[in-house]
Amino acid sequence: MKEKTKYIIISIVSLISFILLWDLVSKSGIISAKKLPAPSKLFETFIYKLGNKNPDGNTLPIHIWTSLKEALIGFFFGIVIGVPLGISMAWFKKFDKFFSPLFDLIKPIPPVGWVPIMITFFGIGIMSKVSVIFIASFIPAVINSYSGIKQTREVHKWVSQTFGASNRQVLFTIAIPSAGPMIFTGARVALNGSWVSLVAAELIASTKGLGYMIQTARLVGRIDVVFVGVLVIGVFGAAMMEGLSFLERKLVKGGRRS
């Protein structure tokens, strides 16, 4: 326990010295403030954006809320559809053979590439954004639940043979619980994916959202607002990942992470 606090202190010191170093580099003019605004300036901008709509038309809390909403809805559907699909692909051979090649082809296409297609399907409302995020989280959800089940499949077979359990019983009582940690890893990757694809999704017809804020700030050349947007994405992303890891530790016994 004492050792743990020591490392936490080191972490904090590390973060602070990183910020100080950054401040020093920026203020000493080694890199001009135009290229790397000082942290103090960014903090100022952050405070300013909390209550001010300029230059992009909405305050920072509204942007954050919009992005969180879109990312979480997309993530939710990605998990709800992706995990069962991954499990069925791993469990039912014909399913596997039917979907796998298609899936392998679609997998490498980056979410940004889907943007124009999603607009034509879902129009300009929130749905087109959610659907881009959905794809980004759906794919890792499928992959991980698929390999989670696959990895232990042989063992399940022996178990079912030995005890005469039905295929369904084995699936629900043994295979899925034992794939739990893998599925959670998938959820973590999926959450990361949905958050990462946010900016791409908000290239579509947006008036708010962190991605939109960054885009507009780029256009008007407010590099400080760009930085604030990027850092907010980073901090919120990190917080959500930690939250999910916490959930995993609570829910899955014998998780992958020791």
Taking the C-alpha atoms of residue 173 and residue 145, their distance in angstroms, rounded to an integer, is: 15
Number of residues that bind another protein (CB under 8 A): 89
CB 56 within 8 Å of CB 225: yes
* Per CB under 8 A, 241 contacts another protein: yes
CB of 211 vs another protein, minimal distance in Å: 8
CB 89 within 8 Å of CB 95: yes
Place of tokens 């990183």: 18
**Which residue, 164 or 227, is less far from another protein as judged by CB?**
227
**Which residue, 79 or 133, is less far from another protein as judged by CB?**
133
Among 15, 47, 50, 247, binds another protein (CB under 8 A): 15
**Of residues 171-230, which lie at the interface with another protein (CB under 8 A)?**
192, 195-200, 203-207, 211, 214-216, 218-223, 226-227, 229-230
CB of 245 vs another protein, minimal distance in Å: 11
CB of 103 vs another protein, minimal distance in Å: 9
Taking the C-alpha atoms of residue 28 and residue 67, their distance in angstroms, rounded to an integer, is: 35
CB of 223 vs another protein, minimal distance in Å: 7
**Of residues 29-88, which lie at the interface with another protein (CB under 8 A)?**
30-32, 34-36, 53-57
CB of 58 vs another protein, minimal distance in Å: 10
- Output the DSSP codes for 177-244: HHTHHHHHHHHHHHHHHHHHTHHHHTTSS-SSSHHHHHHHHHHTT-HHHHHHHHHHHHHHHHHHHHHH
Span near another protein by CB under 8 A; candidates 39-47, 62-70, 109-117, 161-169: 109-117
**Which residue, 33 or 251, is less far from another protein as judged by CB?**
33
Cβ-Cβ contacts under 8 Å for 201 (sequence gap 6 or more):
70, 74, 111, 115, 128, 129, 130, 132, 133, 211
CB of 181 vs another protein, minimal distance in Å: 12
**Of residues 150-169, which lie at the interface with another protein (CB under 8 A)?**
150-151, 153
Taking the C-alpha atoms of residue 95 and residue 87, their distance in angstroms, rounded to an integer, is: 10
* Half-sphere exposure (Cβ direction) of 198: Cα atoms closer than 13 Å: 32
The three-state secondary structure class of 68 is helix
Phi (first) and psi of residue 222, to 5 degrees: -90, 80
Taking the C-alpha atoms of residue 176 and residue 179, their distance in angstroms, rounded to an integer, is: 5
* Per CB under 8 A, 117 contacts another protein: yes
Among 87, 115, 179, 228, binds another protein (CB under 8 A): 115
Among 109, 155, 247, 251, binds another protein (CB under 8 A): 109
* Per CB under 8 A, 231 contacts another protein: yes
